[in-house]
Amino acid sequence: MILFKNFEIHDPYPGGFQGFGDVLVHSTGLISEIGPDILAPGAKVIEGNRRLLVPGFCDTHANFGEPGLEYRETVKTGSEAALAGGFTTVFIYPNTRPVIDSLQVLEYLKDKIEDSPIRIEIVAAISRNCEGQLISPVKSFTDAGVHTFSDGNLPVQNSLFMKRACDYLSMFDALVVVNPEDKSMSGSGVLHDGFQSIRLGLPGIPAVSESIMVHRDCEISRETGSKLHFNNVVTREGIEALAFHKARGTDVTAGIAPFYFILSDEDLDWYNTNYKLSPPLRSPSDLEAVLSTLKNGGFDIICSSHTPQSEIEKTTDFLSAPIGAISLETTFSLAFTYLVKTKILSLQQLLEMLVVNPRRRFGSEENPLKKGFKADFVIIDPFETLSVMKETIHSKSKNTPFLNHKLSAVIDMVFTRNRLHSLHEKTSSDYTAHS
Amino acid sequence: MFPSRHFIGIETLSREELLEILSLGAKYRLLLDQDDKNLTDLKNCTVANLFFENSTRTRFSFELAERRLGATVINFNNESSSSAKGETVLDTIKNLEVMKIDMVVIRHTLSGICNMLSRSVQASIINAGEGTHEHPTQALLDVLSLQQHFNEFKGLSVGIIGDILHSRVARSLVFALRLLGANVHLIGPKTLLPAHFERFGVTLHHQLDPILPELDATVSLRIQMERMESGYLPSLIEFHKAYGIDERRIGKMKSHAIIMHPGPVNRGVELSHYAVDSEKSIILDQVTNGVAVRMAVLKMIYEFRSSSL
């Protein structure tokens, strides 16, 4: 048994425990008791020391590299990065080699996932090889426990195919996840079509390439009755489209990754390829729209959009460089620094977007801090500074625009799957509640 | 002294640095008119010209500039490797470096490749035109030509005409002219002249005729044939009707106004035959100035390298 004593507990679930208190974890990995002044003779005691204790986060958008791209991220390194960022559940996307579009690939991954210290949920491809032409075996996937489908960074372009796929997916009550991008419009573009693309002489991606797809897929969702989620909506036009369709009652939700509530295209450091993202960093006016939408509750989820790319691949010119940045380890600290400390969101609101809404929308096991539930929580030191350094990044890749940044709040410990992980002690001090 | 190991763009230059290059360029221009025009300043310097995109003029111009200054020159012209990505070019340059190359003049189709290379190599990187970003030595020769003609930039109105969006010449020239205090007018169809250009402190026009009588100089940009295929323009004929300089339009220009073009000209498109050969055209003079300003850039980088050893 482990007694977590004198923590500032924030359980964002409705009616969840809020305030100073203790959590007693039983050797089965379940919460035996939560409340003030718990007495547990013989239990190992971990003192709070002004730290926060909150339920483990759930990431609805991460890319690992298995199978086929293990040099970017393995399930093992990705899980370590997730732990370091306080994520105890992570949804991984099918843009692998091969694509997760068959039971064979699913079975291969399931073996790897068993050994992970965190819960990994798989998002299966909507179409074979994410090519937007043949529907992947949806029934087989849902029978195997996969209920989320997406073509990830290769969103379906053909509208009729998308309608048919959504019709089919809706029979299984599956969640359709889209990165909204009209590729015929974004074409060879590599950053926001705006002043910066003009200045650097790089082909731009028009803002409407996003809003067109937000409109299209919302219309398709409405027509087919399928559940729809957008990983990121980052343009003013796209956000307006989203709000319009939400107000109309379409079953649609949206996430937002930290890049898009912190940076704009104007922050691009010359041709630094770590700023090459998909969707691209948009204009300062779009950034403003994202922040005000966060404030008024227009986004449902904060996700990492973790996209590892090897240093070798990123060491090239901007046009040739692959897209994406890692983010699992910094998402909480970035959100805490740029949203909570700036009072755009309360800690409660942030936790709803990192803990509650992701699990509810994506249908993963919930983890309130309540007696009888599996102990699944994160211990955060809000007064410590996180230095984002290449040397201390757990992910196999180091591509992030936040290198050398200093952020508020550090994830100290994670308890999940009946195991306590201390993240900042040199010696391995992981132990289970048995000890 | 112009304070850099590399010469990648006009955007990062100060006004003083630009003027210093121009004044050295003007000196070399005078030298080029003499019989004895060969110097030995760069006799300990080896320059590699890496042209991943076809070019006749700029390559000859750089090579002449290098030889006039006494440098050892090697050439690499490989259009077939024009799709070479950043990391491949970086490897090439690292190989050249160990063969004791001091400077690399590079032309490439990828915007930003010079910036990327300059972060990772010791050799000096000189931009001879990259993608749709900058072509700084072209801007230098253009402003030197304007200076020779008008002496002053204050109050001078220069119109840059055509495919601004895809033009590295336009970007570099805008930066240079703004630094020097000239009024810059960008003229072209909306598809090739997005509104964001306004942030450079220039005026945008989608029609040539209303502004033409106010310009002291026009710089027409070469139009690429593939623009028609991608829906930017209906046809070359239509482009010429709207933006081409011909005899009729020359009649509407100021009497002292000059016609410039970075070359090679699509005759009958940007400029009519008449315009190319008219006495307002200083296109060939621009070419001579090209050698002079490139000599200036090479010499200044060489001095920077020598002083920072």
B201 contact A CB<8A: no
Which CATH superfamily hosts domain B136-284?
Aspartate/ornithine carbamoyltransferase (3.40.50.1370)
* CA angle B82–B85–B87, rounded 5-degree value: 140
pLDDT at B282 over 60: yes
Residue B2 binned pLDDT confidence (cut-offs 50, 70, 90) = low
Among chain A residues, CA nearest to B134: A201
Q: Distance from A213 to chain B by nearest Cα, in Å? A: 22
Interface ipTM > 0.90: yes
Chain A residues with CB-CB distance to B171 below 8 A: 199, 201
pLDDT score at A424: 78
- Cα–Cα distance, B302 to B216 (Å, whole number): 35
Q: Do B110 and A321 touch (CB under 8 A)?
A: no
Domain A2-53+371-390+403-422 has CATH 2.30.40.10: yes
Q: Distance from A266 to chain B by nearest Cα, in Å? A: 13
pLDDT in tens, A406-418: 999 999 999 999 9
Q: Are B104 and B48 in contact (CB under 8 A)?
A: yes
Residue B79 binned pLDDT confidence (cut-offs 50, 70, 90) = low
pLDDT in tens, A134-179: 999 999 999 999 999 999 999 999 999 999 999 999 999 999 999 9
Taking CA atoms, B301 is separated from B57, B213, B307, in Å, by: 22, 40, 10
Q: Do A316 and B115 touch (CB under 8 A)?
A: no
Domain A56-362 has CATH 3.20.20.140: yes
B83 contact A CB<8A: no
Q: Do A198 and B112 touch (CB under 8 A)?
A: no
Q: Distance from A333 to chain B by nearest Cα, in Å? A: 30
Q: Distance from A271 to chain B by nearest Cα, in Å? A: 6
| Residue located via tokens 């000189």 | B126
Give residue B130's identity as a one-letter amino acid code: E
CATH fold of B15-134+287-307 reads: Rossmann fold (3.40.50)
In chain B, positions 107-126, which contact chain A (CB-CB < 8 Å)? 110-113, 115-116, 120
pLDDT at B254 over 50: yes
| Boundaries of every domain in chain A | 2-53+371-390+403-422, 56-362
B86 contact A CB<8A: yes
Best CA proximity match to A284, nearest among A345, A207, A230, A203: A207
In chain B, positions 178-197, which contact chain A (CB-CB < 8 Å)? 194, 196-197
Residues 6+ apart with CB under 8 A from A8: A19, A20, A48, A50, A51, A52, A53
| Residue located via tokens 């890049």 | A259
Which of A185, A265, A271 best tests the B interface by mutation, with the highest count of B CBs <10 A?
A271
pLDDT score at A345: 98
pLDDT score at B77: 76
Per-residue tens of pLDDT for chain A, all 435 residues: 999 999 999 999 999 999 999 999 999 999 999 999 999 999 999 999 999 999 999 999 999 999 999 999 999 999 999 999 999 999 999 999 999 999 999 999 998 999 999 999 999 999 999 999 999 999 999 999 999 999 999 999 999 999 999 999 999 999 999 999 999 999 999 999 999 999 999 999 999 999 999 999 999 999 999 999 999 999 999 999 999 999 999 999 999 999 999 999 999 989 999 999 999 999 999 999 999 999 999 999 999 999 999 999 999 999 999 999 999 999 999 999 999 999 999 999 999 999 999 999 999 999 999 999 999 999 999 999 999 999 999 999 999 999 999 999 999 999 999 999 998 764 344 445 544
Q: What is the DSSP letter of A193?
A: T
Q: Enumerate the CATH 3.40.50.1370 domain ranges in chain B, comma separated.
A: 15-134+287-307, 136-284
pLDDT in tens, B294-308: 999 999 999 999 998
Among chain A residues, CA nearest to B11: A199
Q: Do A201 and B11 touch (CB under 8 A)?
A: no
Smallest Cβ–Cβ distance between B87 and the set A270, A316, A319 belongs to A316
